[in-house]
Amino acid sequence: MLSLFRRQAPTPEITFKTRVEKFWDWYSEQSSRLFEVVDRGQSPSLGQEVSAKVDDLLPGFAWVFGPGEGGIGHSFTLSGEGVLHRQLLAIYCVSRAPKLQGWSFYASRQPGSIDGIQLDIGGRKFDPLEVWITPHVDHESRKVDLTVWHPLMSQMDPNQRLGPVFLFLDEVLGEFGTGQWIGEINLDDKRLAEAIPLKELLSFVKKVEADTGWKKLAPGEEATLYRSKQPHDRFLRGDVIVGNTMHPQLIGEYLRAEGLLEDPLRGTGADYVFVSFDAKIMPAGKQVDARAKIEDALDGALKSARSGRLLGGALGVRFAYIDLLLYDGSTSLEIVRDVLTTQGLPTGTAINFFSKEKIRNRIVL
């Protein structure tokens, strides 16, 4: 499963929700035929057809056919390939997948087999079956640190050694597994006595999960707290004192761009927006609870309509903020506006776009 079909193509301006609906309508119509072709072992013959449909409706995403859940039937995986912006959209897309006989659907590459896989690096064959690892459970970080050995490691350019390691880890643990479970990686020039073959890593991780009870959440499901040491008023959100987010990458990119962020969702039909309103309307000492009430109302309304989701919120010197991912363009915006009105947000409350290309599209109540 190392290879995924991927293309880039211009697409019409339709919302992400509509794209998803159109894609699954097509897949449902073709599912029996696709299943038969994959079942005959001829899935490569579908590459051009499926890529064209993905390019048209879900540009920038990768896809692959694979085994079905529990080894039954077949699967179709849509992947954001490690790009969190697209991973969140892939998760939404797969959540809308129809139930089709014989098919399983995934929003990330699943753990696979490394048998028969080799990489040619500088004329040398890098075989993952020859990789040995010494795992160490870090209870503080709730991750597994690895010491990695391969007979060719010492002969490779130091700058190239980690590349194949990460490729093979993603294959063994799946697209999300490496980031969720693996901590520090150290390379060693000798195989340690406690080492195990790389192909046994998934079983090791599953045992750690069972023994510790640690639960790893999907991207966009775990909140991160952040603070600003020097709030300012140079651009909107610069006044933030403290916030929480399920998408720290978005917040970091926006702040580094000083409010002029190039649209990370360009061409998908989805939007990142944030609501800004006067922080003074919230009762002193209860700002978090007051904002949470509005957040819950927004999240509930958007999810009920399958039109968006909450990403987090923040408190600033002047404004309070609520961050959202919208899937359905003007329909999503209207839902947000209605909730804000129902919640009694004051005049001047605004729905702002994170992307600089859409700054002028802000909506002010």
What are the pLDDT digits (tens) for 207-224?
Answer: 999 999 998 888 899 999
On whether both 229 and 354 belong to a single domain, the answer is: yes
* Domain-located, residue 217: no
* Alpha carbon 79 to its chain's center: 9
Residue where a domain stops, chosen among 159, 190, 212 = 212
Q: How would residue 284 be classed by pLDDT, with cut points 50, 70 and 90?
A: confident
pLDDT, one tens digit per residue, over 52-78 is: 999 999 999 999 999 999 889 999 999
Q: Provide the b/e sequence for 313-344 (b: ≥16 CB within 10 Å).
A: bbbbeebbbbbbbbbbbeebbebbbebbeeee
On whether both 10 and 95 belong to a single domain, the answer is: yes
Q: How would residue 193 be classed by pLDDT, with cut points 50, 70 and 90?
A: confident
Tokens 């073959």 sit on residue: 197
Give me the number of domains the chain comprises.
3
Q: Tell me the average pLDDT of the chain.
A: 92
* Domain-located, residue 111: no
On whether both 228 and 355 belong to a single domain, the answer is: yes
* Domain-located, residue 255: yes
On whether both 246 and 330 belong to a single domain, the answer is: yes
CA 6 – CA 116 distance, rounded (Å) = 23
Q: How would residue 5 be classed by pLDDT, with cut points 50, 70 and 90?
A: low
On whether both 228 and 360 belong to a single domain, the answer is: yes
pTM of structure: 0.86
CA 155 – CA 160 distance, rounded (Å) = 10
Show the domain range for 319.
Answer: 224-364
Residue where a domain stops, chosen among 81, 106, 131 = 106
Q: Where are the alpha helices (DSSP H) in 103-247?
A: 162-173, 177-181, 201-212
Contact between 195 and 149 under an 8 Å Cβ cutoff? The reply is: yes
Residue where a domain stops, chosen among 40, 72, 106 = 106
Q: Which residues pair with 119 in a beta bridge?
A: 126
Backbone angles phi, psi at 99, to 5 degrees: -85, 110
Contact between 109 and 91 under an 8 Å Cβ cutoff? The reply is: no
Tokens 């761009």 sit on residue: 257
On whether both 183 and 233 belong to a single domain, the answer is: no
